[in-house]
């Protein structure tokens, strides 16, 4: 645990008692603050009280008269589409609103660091797609290089559940827009921006607000190095804002669309080959085509971003390349779960929006595509140019028929995962890929994309007779 610093003796309200909220309350107490907790869910309050935490209704009149700060869990809106009533009350009372990420950056450095030979560092990764894989890959490379490291944030542990940093340690954080938009302190040493595509638009009041939430990671604290995917105009703009000139190598530009040139620092992938250029000269190259855990151009983008971040930490290209080949990938992200009778079964349940599904489709050919679910704002037009490798779609979800009508490929309305997998398995031929890439949220049928992916894997196992664990 990382005890919260700077709030000793203060009453601090904590709204939301899920993983991050409970961790924040514990860390506040460990640092000498007095957490005052609330969650509308009575079971969540009971769990907190069982740990000895104090709960009080933060909606009550005068609740914020003695409060120094309000800590809000990521899923609770503070501005759009409308502030949560507790957040509104705090704002009206003039109480600063923060989250666990802000507390982490406020508290990470300690006086113990004065005796360290190598200062601990933080690598923070954000973006629309690929941030989990990029974060996990950076962490894997560091482990392979035998560097002390921890992984947290939107993946794995809560940030305040981390252990205090040791000499030379690197903490890798995956940060969502919900986390970056509110944190009062954001001071990573290396910040990574993978890409940007429409997502969470209601929460951020459109693309401008969504990009602004991501941009805060780079604008608030000024990282020593910024790794920026420049294949969208927002990334290109962000790189330009951060750079002092063409040769400024504090900004590492990343692309999978084109070769990058110039006197600065670039990492790009073309036709499966990663190249690093610095000051106009090639500094490294890796053949990604044989890296089983990173299939497709979207994973090559993740590889480029992770490579750039690790190079900025001083790791050699050959060390990074060796680590790539031992990376197994993440569950529910282009995850091969079986290969039977010449048919490959791939779980990409994390492809919850159109852009991520399009990238998954681009990674394979001869696709039996299982898709559908809770459609996100913006429709499915972005899939129109990505379905050339699809032989047939098998559509799930409560609105499967309406979803299927928007597709430009042969589509069968299946409704449930059980039916979709059975039909895809029955029709698949050697050389085909049965791919779950929903292009939609899961909440019409599942409580998370993980549960959806697990159901897919279980149904495949039952149909083709392989072990599922």
Known binding residues are: 127-133
Say which CATH topology domain 335-458 has. 3.90.190
- pLDDT at residue 80, as a whole number: 93
pTM score, two decimals? Answer: 0.85
> Which residues of the chain are modeled with pLDDT < 70?
466-469
- CATH (residue range 11-98): 3.40.50.720
Question: CATH for 105-324, among 3.40.1190.10, 3.40.1350.10, 3.40.50.1100, 3.90.180.10?
Answer: 3.40.1190.10
- pLDDT at residue 467, as a whole number: 55
Question: In the numeric block, which tokens belong to residue 96?
Answer: 């600063």
Please check whether residue 309 is in contact with residue 338, taking contact to mean a CB–CB distance below 8 angstroms.
no
Domain layout of the chain by residue ranges:
11-98, 105-324, 335-458
Known binding residues for ATP are: 127-133
Reduced to 3 states (helix: H, G, I; strand: E, B; else coil), residue 364 is coil
For residue 369, what are the β-bridge partners?
A: 393, 435
Please check whether residue 48 is in contact with residue 17, taking contact to mean a CB–CB distance below 8 angstroms.
yes
Side-chain half-sphere exposure of 270, counting CA atoms within 13 A: 9
For residue 150, what are the β-bridge partners?
A: 171
Question: Which residues are CB-neighbours of 363 under 8 A, at least 6 positions away?
Answer: 295, 296, 297, 298, 299, 334
Q: What is the total residue count of the chain?
A: 469
Characterize the bridge pairing of strands 273-278 and 265-270: antiparallel
Distance CA 40, CA 166 (A): 38
Burial (0-12, 13-18, 19+ Cβ within 10 Å), 331? middle
pLDDT tens for each residue of 366-390 = 999 999 999 987 788 888 889 999 9
Characterize the bridge pairing of strands 190-193 and 121-126: parallel
- pLDDT at residue 468, as a whole number: 53
């Amino acid at each position: 645990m990382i005890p919260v610093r700077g709030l000793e003796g203060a009453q601090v309200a904590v709204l939301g008692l899920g993983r991050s909220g409970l961790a924040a309350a514990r860390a506040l107490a460990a640092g000498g603050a007095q957490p005052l907790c609330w969650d509308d869910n009575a079971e969540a309050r009971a769990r907190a009280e069982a740990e000895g935490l104090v709960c009080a209704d933060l909606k009550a009149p005068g609740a914020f008269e003695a409060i120094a700060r309000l800590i809000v869990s990521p899923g609770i809106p503070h501005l759009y589409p409308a502030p949560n009533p507790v957040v509104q009350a705090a704002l009206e009372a003039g109480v600063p609103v923060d989250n666990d990420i802000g507390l982490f950056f406020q508290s990470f450095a300690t006086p113990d660091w004065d005796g360290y030979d190598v200062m601990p560092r933080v690598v923070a990764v954000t973006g629309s797609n690929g941030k989990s894989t990029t974060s996990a890959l950076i962490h894997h490379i560091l482990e392979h290089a035998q560097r002390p490291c921890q992984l947290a944030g939107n993946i794995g542990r809560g940030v305040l559940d981390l252990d205090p940093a040791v000499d030379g340690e690197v903490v890798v954080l995956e940060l969502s827009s919900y986390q970056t938009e509110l944190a009062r302190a954001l001071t990573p040493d290396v910040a990574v921006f993978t890409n940007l595509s429409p997502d969470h638009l209601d929460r951020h009041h459109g693309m401008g607000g969504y990009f602004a939430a991501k941009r805060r990671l780079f604008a608030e604290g000024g990282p020593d190095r910024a790794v920026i995917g420049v294949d969208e105009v927002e990334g290109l703009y962000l790189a330009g804002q951060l750079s002092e000139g063409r040769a400024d190598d504090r900004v590492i530009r990343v692309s999978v669309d084109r070769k990058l040139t110039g006197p600065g620092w670039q990492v790009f992938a073309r036709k499966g080959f990663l190249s690093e250029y610095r000051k106009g000269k090639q500094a490294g190259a890796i053949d990604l085509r044989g890296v089983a855990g990173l299939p497709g151009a979207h994973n090559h983008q993740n590889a480029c971003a992770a490579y750039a971040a690790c190079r900025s930490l001083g790791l050699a290209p050959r060390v990074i390349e060796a680590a790539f080949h031992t990376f197994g990938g993440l569950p529910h992200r282009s995850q091969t779960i079986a290969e039977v009778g010449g048919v490959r079964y791939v779980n990409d349940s994390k492809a919850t929006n159109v852009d991520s599904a399009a990238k998954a489709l681009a990674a394979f050919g001869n696709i039996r595509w299982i898709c559908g679910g809770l459609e996100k704002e913006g429709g499915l037009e972005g899939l129109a140019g990505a379905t050339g490798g699809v032989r047939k779609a098998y559509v799930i979800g409560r609105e499967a028929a309406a979803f299927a009508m928007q597709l430009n490929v042969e589509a069968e309305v299946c409704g449930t995962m059980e039916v979709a997998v059975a039909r895809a398995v029955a029709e698949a031929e050697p050389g085909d890929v049965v791919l779950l890439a929903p292009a939609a949220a899961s909440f019409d049928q599942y409580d998370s994309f993980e549960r959806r992916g697990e159901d897919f894997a279980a149904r495949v196992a039952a149909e083709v007779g392989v072990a599922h664990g």
